Amino acid sequence: MKLFTVLKTFLAASLLIGAGSTIPAQAQANDMFPTKAAAQQRAKELKCTGAFPMGKEWMPCKDFATYEKAVSKQP
């Protein structure tokens, strides 16, 4: 469980560093979902498709690279 927390923190930090200031810090926490269906709904908002598992939660888009690209286009 501690490893998952570390990985989740690393993911959030990576997104902030990789995207600069174009992504608000809240986006990462808000884009982790307990169900695949919820992540797929968010994917529609991001204009991508699918969902992928991240530990015990789900993230929008078909994979992390696609997710990064989608959130970088958000205002």
The domain locations on the chain are: 2-72
**Nearest-angstrom CA–CA distance, 24 and 4:** 22
Residue 12 has a pLDDT of 55
For the chain, 75 residues long, the average pLDDT of each consecutive 10-residue run is: 54 52 53 97 97 95 94 85
Closest C-alpha to 48, from 29, 73, 30 = 73
Residue 75 has a pLDDT of 77
Residue 67 has a pLDDT of 94
Residue 58 CB neighbours (<10 A): 22
Residue 29 has a pLDDT of 72
**Which residues, 6 or more positions from 67, have their beta carbon under 8 angstroms from its beta carbon?**
31, 46, 48, 52, 59, 60, 61
**Residue 63 is encoded by which pair of tokens?**
């994979």
**Which residues, 6 or more positions from 2, have their beta carbon under 8 angstroms from its beta carbon?**
none
